[in-house]
Amino acid sequence: MKYHLIAIGGTGMGALAGLLRGAGHEVRGSDVAVYPPMSSQLSALEIPVYEGYSPDNLAWDPDVVVVGNVCTKEHPEVVEAQRRELALHSLPSVLGDAFLEGRTPLVIAGTHGKTTTSALLAHLVMQAGRDPSFFIGGVPVDYGKGWRLGSGPDFVVEGDEYDSAFFDKKSKFLHYRPQVAVLTSVELDHVDIFSSIEAVRAAFREFVRLIPEEGRLFVASDSAEAMAIARSEARCSVEPYGVVRDRGNHAGASEDGRRWEARDVQYLKSGRVRFELYRDGDHVDTYETLLTGAHNVGNAVAALAVAHGLEIPPEIIRHATAAFAGVKRRQEIRGLAQGVTVLDDYAHHPSAVSSTLQGLRRRFDGRRIVAIYEPRSATSRRKTFQREFAEAFAHADAVVVGPLYDPSKIAKEERFDPGKLALDLHQGGTPASHHESVSDIVGHTCEMVRPGDVVVIFSSGHFGGIHDALLAALGDAVMPARREDAERVRHLLGDVGLDHLDMSAEEIFGDFWILANEEGFTGCVGLRVLGEDAVLHSLAVKREARGVGYGWMLADTAISLARYRGARRLYLLTETASDFFAEKHGFREVDLSTVTMNVADSEIFQSLRQRSPVAMRLDL
């Protein structure tokens, strides 16, 4: 079959493109602009993307046209498809019909936490060797893409309540045939299509009614709306889950009726969160996760409960949970510059912003948190949550508010007021300012931040490339390598005699961080995370840039990143730089026989063993 995807650059549409290509179909698409990471994924899959919309984009005569929900019936490619009498389908209908029939859909739904919970559950099922498929509205760090087509029966699906297409107005998740489902929360959101909380309730009620009697529904006990819907509509088993917020031992079953419960939640110095999981009052196991904040502990409990229901071995669940690296655009490190850490986060609802900021304060204890915000989503561009956003951003130490994205799409009397948000915050005691351009935001932020600060950028879109612009303005930025950096990395490693690893562009993209300054690409370092262990490798600086501390900067960044990813030990093999790593960073020489098995078996260590290197370790 030949599929043409209109608006292919969206996370969901791009993931569907990957599934279709993986199933052997010919796929093409169109969009006005495609940004990383989706642009990189589509390029790697060799899926042609037409830039801009035009009737000519359908000249290749596809069998099916998949229409993104941003398209109207007047869209030029929709009009052309109808003229050619081509079949029009929505994304969720194609996913349901082409991939979910005959499988066991594990559907994660709710206003918040869907992406993280889906990604963790997919990771647990993957690590159990069940060869699952998944479709996630984000990019799990462990897998580099939001889709996978496996041969096993399990299909993990992020179930979005947004409508499907202009000709298919029902919520996406109503196409997904849930056998096992999670309901994380129910709140008013997507106010462009839901006129009230009652309209939101109606969609979720219909979803819950789809679960068959033999199915299972895991529902967040701290969401009164979700619990009410589950109790009134479910025909299947309902299993509430949640988190005990106060420390201490809690004997017996939960007084709140939770079947699955996290207790004794501890925030460790390593950045991990440790908690005890109970089922029906009985202790199940102790878990550690890199997911921070009470909301993310709740997401983890939901995924763990489903995994136990699938009878995945406990030791696999325990180790896989500890190793889960999270999702891109959810507290994702976009770079470090001048001692400032720049994070990217997708949160665009006040509840999500509040939870994220509180979690970051736990993870970066004692450091100043600076929030930069772009009101971009359909809900955040409206004044529906004007007051609630002020309450949410008050959890930051300072806030910079950007312009309203494309205000022409929102009636003037309905628009969110960014300037009022900044004023309300400032009057409430949180330093805040409003700026109308990315360049002004970058300039103001550079003047305000200092070494040790954490800058988190909240946006559901590209935000004018602000992440890279801020890092470049701060100077000497260390950022993740992109696919287009692969050749430069290879050339530098060859120049300094470190070209022993035969790494593909994808491996370089996943492993390497590059140092860029006013002279351009200057150096690189590789970091391979293997569960609780990590390997520092391939540290190199251009010959003409040596002697000014760039090597130290790259090594220090790799150490910081290993800690952020929750590694307990950082290893390296070095032929000539043992003194540098010992004196500057605290590594110590160890016998090769003491290196953990997963590190010793990695191709990085195996490739260097013939050179009689020194093995070194840093306990993090």
What does DSSP assign to residue 484?
G
Residue 249 has pLDDT above 50, yes or no: no
- Say how far apart CA 168 and CA 55 lie, in whole Å: 22
- Say how far apart CA 212 and CA 96 lie, in whole Å: 16
Residue 256 has pLDDT above 70, yes or no: no
Token pair, residue 420, equals 């009022």
Residue with tokens 């690189």: 524
Model's pTM, two decimal places?
0.84
Residue 586, phi-psi category: left (phi > 0), alpha (psi -120 to 50), beta (remainder): left
Token pair, residue 299, equals 């997401």
Find the distance separating the first CA and the last CA of the chain, reported in whole Å: 51
Token pair, residue 272, equals 């991990």
Partner residues linked to 337 by β-bridges: 340
pLDDT band at 253 (very low <50, low <70, confident <90, very high): low
Q: Nearest to residue 349, comparing CAs of 515, 564, 113, 135?
A: 113
State how far the alpha carbon of 96 is from the alpha carbons of 19, 93, 100, 135, 448, in Å. 12, 5, 5, 11, 49
Q: Nearest to residue 562, comparing CAs of 585, 542, 580?
A: 585
- Taking the alpha carbons of 240, 241, 244, 245 in that order, is the dihedral positive or negative? negative
The pLDDT tens digits of the residues spanning 289-331 come to 988 888 899 999 999 999 999 999 999 999 999 889 888 888 8
- Say how far apart CA 38 and CA 138 lie, in whole Å: 10
* Residue 235: per-residue pLDDT: 93
Residue with tokens 């709710």: 110
In three state form, how does the secondary structure of 111-141 look?
CCCHHHHHHHHHHHHHHCCCCCEEECCCCEC
- Say how far apart CA 182 and CA 352 lie, in whole Å: 18
- Taking the alpha carbons of 268, 273, 279, 281 in that order, is the dihedral positive or negative? positive
The pLDDT tens digits of the residues spanning 387-434 come to 999 999 999 999 999 999 999 888 999 999 999 999 999 999 999 999
Strands of 290-419, DSSP E: 332-337, 340-345, 369-373, 398-401
Partner residues linked to 617 by β-bridges: 571, 588
Residues 539-548: contacts with CB under 8 Å, at least 24 apart? 539/577, 540/492, 540/493, 540/495, 540/496, 540/498, 541/515, 542/492, 542/495, 543/495, 543/496, 545/519
Q: Nearest to residue 554, comparing CAs of 566, 568, 565, 542?
A: 542
Burial grade of 381 (CB within 10 A; 0-12, 13-18, 19 or more): buried
Cβ within 8 Å of residue 280, ≥6 positions away: 253, 259
Residue 254 has pLDDT above 60, yes or no: no
- Residue 276: which H helix or E strand, with range? strand 273-279
The pLDDT tens digits of the residues spanning 19-72 come to 999 999 999 999 998 876 678 788 888 999 999 999 999 999 999 999 988 899
What does DSSP assign to residue 426?
H
When pLDDT is averaged across residues 445-454 and rounded to a whole number, the result is 96
* Residue 501: per-residue pLDDT: 66
Residues 285-290: contacts with CB under 8 Å, at least 24 apart? 285/314, 285/317, 285/318, 286/318, 287/317, 287/318, 287/321, 287/322, 288/321, 288/322, 288/566, 289/321, 289/322, 289/324, 290/324, 290/325, 290/326, 290/565, 290/566
* Residue 246: per-residue pLDDT: 65
Residue 509 has pLDDT above 80, yes or no: no
The percentage of the chain sitting over the pLDDT mark of 90, rounded to a whole number, equals: 64
- Residue 221: which H helix or E strand, with range? none
Residue with tokens 């955040």: 380
CA Rg value for the chain: 24
State how far the alpha carbon of 124 is from the alpha carbons of 67, 120, 132, 154, 536, in Å. 32, 6, 10, 11, 26
Pair 79, 102: CB distance under 8 Å: no
Q: Which of 246-260, 374-388, 428-442, 476-490 shows the lowest mean pLDDT across its residues?
A: 246-260
Cα 240 versus chain centre, distance: 25
- Say how far apart CA 27 and CA 18 lie, in whole Å: 9
Pair 524, 515: CB distance under 8 Å: yes
Domains in the chain: ranges and CATH: 2-91 (3.40.50.720), 102-323 (3.40.1190.10), 332-475 (3.90.190.20), 493-619 (3.40.630.30)
Pair 616, 574: CB distance under 8 Å: yes
Residue with tokens 């060859």: 494
* Residue 611: per-residue pLDDT: 67
- Say how far apart CA 431 and CA 394 lie, in whole Å: 9
- Say how far apart CA 334 and CA 276 lie, in whole Å: 32
Q: Which of 189-193, 240-244, 330-334, 563-567 shows the lowest mean pLDDT across its residues?
A: 189-193
Residue type, 156: V
Token pair, residue 241, equals 């889950």
